[in-house]
Each structure stands twice: as structure tokens, then as C-alpha cells.
């Protein structure tokens, strides 16, 4: 079962960016979620929200090439 949250190391790898940049992106996405009233966890972001914001829709294993 896939984890519901994506961490900075996985974000960095998927987007081919540095870990500090991945943390910055996670912080931005978590700020958006907080503004909508959701509870967030520092250093992690909801995987579905990450996919929606970056790819426009939920990305599944077929789309990811896994």
C-alpha cells in the first residue's frame, strides 16, 4: 500500500531538484492546505494533493512509469 504522504527525499527525486528545494515546495503546498483548513505535517505533504498541484490530476503508477 502506498503511503498517503510524500516526503522531501521522494519529491526531490521525482522532480530532480535538491532536497532544500523539495522542502520549500512542501512548505508551499502545506501553506495552501492550511489556508483551506487542513492539518499538515512539516516535511511531508499529502501525496494526492502533490499530484493534483503538480500534474493537474492524480498520478497513478501507470502514468509514473512504475
| pLDDT confidence tier of residue 60, bands split at 50, 70 and 90 | low
Nearest to 43 by CA among 29, 58, 59: 29
Which pLDDT score, from 0 to 100, does residue 2 have?
A: 72
Q: What is the structure's pLDDT at 65?
A: 46
Record the pTM: 0.80
Amino acid at each position: 500500500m502506498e503511503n498517503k504522504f510524500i516526503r522531501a527525499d521522494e519529491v526531490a527525486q521525482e522532480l530532480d531538484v535538491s532536497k532544500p528545494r523539495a522542502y520549500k515546495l512542501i512548505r508551499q503546498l502545506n501553506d495552501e492546505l492550511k489556508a483551506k483548513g487542513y492539518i499538515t505535517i512539516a516535511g511531508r505533504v499529502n501525496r494526492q494533493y502533490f499530484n493534483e498541484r503538480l500534474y493537474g490530476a492524480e498520478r497513478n503508477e501507470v502514468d509514473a512509469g512504475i
